[in-house]
Amino acid sequence: MRSIVTGGAGFLGSHLCDLLLEKGHEVICIDNLLTGNQRNLEHISSDQFTYIKHDVTKPIYFGDKIHYIFHLASPASPIDYLELPIQTLKVGALGTYNMLGLAKQQNARFLLASTSEVYGDPLVNPQSETYWGNVNPIGPRGVYDEAKRYAEAITMAYHRYHGVDTRIVRIFNTYGPRMRANDGRVVPNFISQALNGRDITVYGDGSQTRSFCYVSDLIDGIYRLIMSDCTDPVNIGNPAEMSVLDFAKVIIEITGSKSKIIHEDLPVDDPKVRRPDISKAKELLGWEPKVELKEGLRQTIEYFMQ
Ligand code: NAD
Ligand code: UDP
């Protein structure tokens, strides 16, 4: 089996490359290093692995047969996509279009890494796949949310019109080793602040909620989804919901840090709640998360300490 992973030098993509190699796939990682880093791939010594530096908003062709395409390339942290709005829109639109074209030409199975952000600032909680979302298309986060909503739409169009064998995973907040310490997301921010004795920056009053999934659980869910016959979107995430303020307290407790919690402005359009309904993943993929928050955080903290 030959698989392509776009965004394979990023946080999730590099873990997916590891799992695919473990499962015996030949893996081609395509990444332009916009937000990723080749250090995430340094540990791979397999001759079944190839890295190609390429921007997927430009077409790419392969002579050899490709069986699976995992399209993960996209800035993913709010700080990244606010700094890279055009690149974010382009990779969601042109990048997805190019990878679907490749899947069609290769008769390969295609998986889109979508996001819980397609639900925007949700008016229902938890969010199931049948919810259509509440997105501000012209707000600062719109570049990411709408790029992913477009990516889902073009994926379903290639599926319905061209018969491409597609999968869509809606990923909820995932954390773990190889997140960039400065990527601005709440997990690396709080951990590096706590480890360095700096103030922990809770945005707003911290009552907004998130549900954190450990990376190994997420990657297992992605693998089960591509191997399933489920062509409709599936939520993968951990339903254990907590407020951001409580999350800051957990980080202080686990690191034993003396950091104080301070409050900063809440970013525009920051979702007030987020929690996946994972009934579909349970039923169709036999998947549910296994790693408890504190265990996952210990592994992540160890990575950040190194
Ligand atoms: P990341 O920033 O670590 O990885 C993204 C990778 O894509 C990077 O290596 C980057 O260099 C690459 N990339 C970006 N634009 C590219 C382009 N035009 N051509 C080639 N490569 C390009 O982010 P991540 O957290 O690993 O996210 C991976 C995917 O999962 C993204 O599509 C993201 O939207 C999705 N996702 C992640 C989360 C999460 O919690 N981590 C949640 C929801 C969705
Ligand atoms: N957040 C915070 N302090 C930080 C970074 C983030 O309070 O230093 C909050 C952010 O406002 C949001 C939540 O933590 O409510 C999760 O933010 P993140 O950027 O990780 O991802 P999001 O779920 O918003 O895409």
Ligand whose nearest atom lies closest to the CA of 90: 1
How far is it, in rounded angstroms, from Cα 148 to Cα 114?
Answer: 6
Do 280 and 269 lie in one domain? The reply is no
Q: What is the pLDDT of residue 172?
A: 98
Best CA proximity match to 172, nearest among 220, 210, 226, 124: 210
Q: What is the pLDDT of residue 148?
A: 98
pLDDT digits (tens, 9 = 90+) for 231-248: 999 999 999 999 999 999
Which domain does 128 fall in, by range? 2-175+214-239+276-285
User: CATH no. for residue 7?
Assistant: 3.40.50.720
Q: 264 in a domain, yes or no? A: yes
Out of 68, 144, 175, 214, pick the active-site residue. 144
Tell me the C-alpha distance between 159 and 52, whole Å.
27
What is the count of structural domains for the chain?
2
Cα separation of 16 and 9, whole Å? 10
Looking from the CA of residue 37, the nearest atom of ligand 1 is 9
pLDDT at 298: 98
Q: Is 144 a catalytic residue?
A: yes
Tell how far the Cα of 239 is from the centroid of ligand 2, in angstroms: 17
| Integer Rg of the chain from CA | 19
Cα 192 to Cα 76, 128, 197: the distances in Å are 19, 33, 8
In the chain, alpha helices (H): 11-22, 78-83, 85-90, 96-106, 142-162, 186-195, 215-227, 244-255, 279-280, 293-305
Q: Which of 108, 109, 114 is nearest to 91 (CA)?
A: 114
State the pLDDT at residue 145: 98
User: 192: domain CATH number?
Assistant: 3.90.25.10
In terms of domains, do 85 and 32 share one?
yes
Ligand 1 centre to CA of 12 (Å) is 7
All residue ranges of the chain with pLDDT < 70 are none
Q: Is the ipTM of this complex over 0.90?
A: yes
Q: Is the CB of 188 under 6 A from ligand 1?
A: no
User: Which of 210, 252, 300 has the most ligand 2 atoms within 8 A of CB, as the residue to mutate?
Assistant: 210
Q: Determine, yes or no, domain membership for 180.
A: no
